[in-house]
Amino acid sequence: MLSFIESPTPTLFFTGKGGVGKTSLACATAVALADAGRRVLLVSTDPASNLADVLGAPVGPTASDVATVPGLRALNVDPEAAAREYRERVVGPMRGVLPDDALRGIEEGLSGACTTEIAAFDRFASMLAGEGEASGADVVVFDTAPTGHTLRLLELPAAWSGFIDENPGGASCLGPASGLETQRERYQAAAQALRDPARTILVLVARPEPSALAEAARSAAELSALGVAGQRLVVNGMFQATDPGDPLAAAIERQAQVSLEEFPASLAALPVETLALRPHNLVGLSALRDLASGHEARPLPQEVSSSVLPSEVGDLAAIVDEVEADGKGLVLVMGKGGVGKTTVAAAVAAELAGRGHAVHLTTTDPAAHLSDTLGDDVPGQISVSRIDPAEETRRYTERVLRTKGASLDSDALQILFEDLRSPCTEEVAVFHAFSRAVGQAARGFVVMDTAPTGHTLLLLDATGSYHREVLRSSGLPDGRVTTPLMRLQDPAFTRVLVVTLAETTPVREAAALQADLQRAGVEPFAWVVNRSLAAARPTDPLLAARAAAEGPEIEAVARDHAPTGPDGPRLAVLPYLPEPPVGASRLRALAGDAVLV
């Protein structure tokens, strides 16, 4: 049995990339604790939450009993609804007091994704204090933890400074200080509870893969720097091959072992526990109880044929054909961290370059390693760059201090310094660089490997705010002004490729991303299902069972999510390869013959 199930703290947080199994592990932990006689509240703040599917019971926005598990209650916190309630609580008392223009400015400042994070933390704070839905619970299990980004926001002295009362323009996405002072002690108590290992265990969940472990290491280091001490690591999905003749199975087993041997330094000091790869998605109480207790689930051997894949599936080369037709444009490769956006972006760029086009390949992802993916044989037609968040923030900060800060007195300048320390400043700075890259696509091909979804949506929020401000301040009709958002909304200029994996949670997250893009007026161009076992056709029994389970997920993408092209759904399925596709020639092979049917 896992250590945090045997000896839980009053609060357990589970965090990790999409698809690593954190929701399954959170649910298994909650069920095991309830089975042991504890009163448990299970809470998800994930917009793509599938608690109801995993538990096999309805879960809504308010806490309710899970009828099949005595002692367990569950709820899904709707982040957008929480953000609306938070904004109204901050702005409501000012209605009828401040001028309409001032109110609109405050509401605009509270419209971004940072505010959504703070609103989610607002719900955390009440539950950490044992209030509301958490009243009477012995253990509260959270699926999705506060990020380092959120905790840094709460630490900013300027967020609580009385100076902001005299300078409403300096209010951050937390809101004006006048609306926050009553929450200060509550938030400080919540942050302290997160730092106390006797009260809170934070479980980092990862797969035995370099990218997932690197992401966990970054989170661990950032949270440690902020004083969050009670961290544990669970490496989920350890695999042992049973078919020695299956090269893919041998490669996956070898990769898992190497990943454990080459642990990032910031993870090496954490307590580490491992869980074996299961043959099917962890859905239902029986599977959850097996996971929590450590019981093995042995798959039955089965064969996987090409019939697992829908007949409508195309390949990446067909998508590139359509992208190439205009001779220029922006290709945005988007998706959650860990789904392989960098590989897909590099494959598209390599294929366009191989067809004779000059391509600029860039990334806004601080975790991306384009040079590692391209290898040493980068075609001369590809230029590579990286939008470095730290460097862009430095440039932006210097520019603001040189312009806006030049006329401020010492007190006002101190406020500006504090405001520029906010992590929101990084998002604004990266947006300016993002806008420059968008403009380059008017003259040639720009392929952009974007940051993980949450950060990408922050960019799009900034784009929308910039768009509205430009139109307001220009006084010109829409037809005379071209903003970055208008470029993103133009299907002849921008092609968005949504990348996912053939698993329940990544597909849900990708669908949620597509819905957010559509609300912003941006229509995705195509979907790419990456690292598909079904497309690789393994013979190892466990991998074959997982490959068969991909069929319904890929069919759902083809039927319900992928945009329609001239020959059916614009959907490419890329096989799980024994070795990573590194180098232009292997990337082009991936783009040219993606589906092995």
Summarize pLDDT for 139-160 with one digit per residue, the tens.
999 887 666 656 665 555 444 4
pLDDT of residue 491: 93
Return d(Cα 314, Cα 307) in angstroms, integer. Answer: 14
pLDDT at position 281: 73
- Cβ atoms of 55 and 285 within 8 Å: the answer is yes
When mean pLDDT is compared across 102-106, 124-128, 410-414, 466-470, the lowest value belongs to 466-470
Q: What is the rounded CA–CA span in Å between residue 2 and residue 21?
A: 15
Higher pLDDT, 535 or 132: 535
In this structure, of 163-172, 271-280, 426-435, the range with the lowest mean pLDDT score is 163-172
Half-sphere exposure of 550 (CA within 13 A, CB side): 32
- Look at residue 557 in the predicted model and tell me its pLDDT: 94
**pLDDT band for position 162 (cuts 50, 70, 90):** very low
Catalytic residues: 19, 21-24, 46, 505
Per mean pLDDT, which range of 25-34, 444-453, 460-469, 480-489 is the poorest?
460-469
Identity of the amino acid at 130: G
Q: Where are the alpha helices (DSSP H) in 355-388?
A: 370-374
In sequence order, the 6+-apart residues with CB closer than 8 A to the CB of 394 are none
pLDDT of residue 306: 44
Report residue 560 as tokens: 């319900």
pLDDT at 305: 52
DSSP class per residue in 297-360: -PPPP----GGGS-TT-B-HHHHHHHHHTTS-EEEEEE--TTS-HHHHHHHHHHHHHHTT--EE
Nearest to 554 by CA among 494, 512, 595: 595
Task: Tokens 């945009």: give the residue.
Answer: 563
Are 221 and 34 spatial neighbours (Cβ–Cβ below 8 Å)? no
- Look-up of token digits 């200080």: 177
Region 226-254: mean pLDDT is 90
| Token representation of residue 219 | 């989170």
pLDDT beyond 80 at 110:
no
Q: Is pTM beyond 0.85 here?
A: no
d(CA 593, CA 576) in angstroms, rounded, equals 13
Give 141's strand partners.
12, 42
**DSSP characters over 475-488:** -S-GGG---HHHHH
Place of tokens 């603001």: 400
Give the CA dihedral 394, 399, 400, 405, nearest 10 degrees.
120
CA distance 346 to 359: 10
Residue closest to 142 by CA, chosen among 88, 200, 210? 200
Q: Are 217 and 267 in contact (CB under 8 A)?
A: yes
CA–CA–CA angle 499, 505, 509 (5° rounding)? 50
Q: Domains of the chain, with CATH numbers?
A: 3-78+131-162+187-293 (3.40.50.300), 306-388+438-592 (3.40.50.300)
248 with 540: CB under 8 angstroms?
A: yes
Summarised one tens digit per residue, pLDDT across range 18-70 is 678 888 899 999 999 999 999 999 998 766 567 777 887 888 888 888 888 99
Which of 532, 556, 544, 450 has its CA nearest to residue 494?
Answer: 450
For 476-500, what is the mean pLDDT?
82
Cβ within 8 Å of residue 444, ≥6 positions away: 328, 357, 358, 359, 360
pLDDT of residue 427: 72
Which stretch of DSSP H or E encloses residue 65? Answer: strand 64-65
Cβ(150)–Cβ(117) below 8 Å? yes
Give the contacts of 266 (CB within 8 A, at least 6 positions apart): 217, 218, 220, 221, 224
Supply the pLDDT for residue 333: 94
What are residue 448's DSSP bridge partners? 332, 362
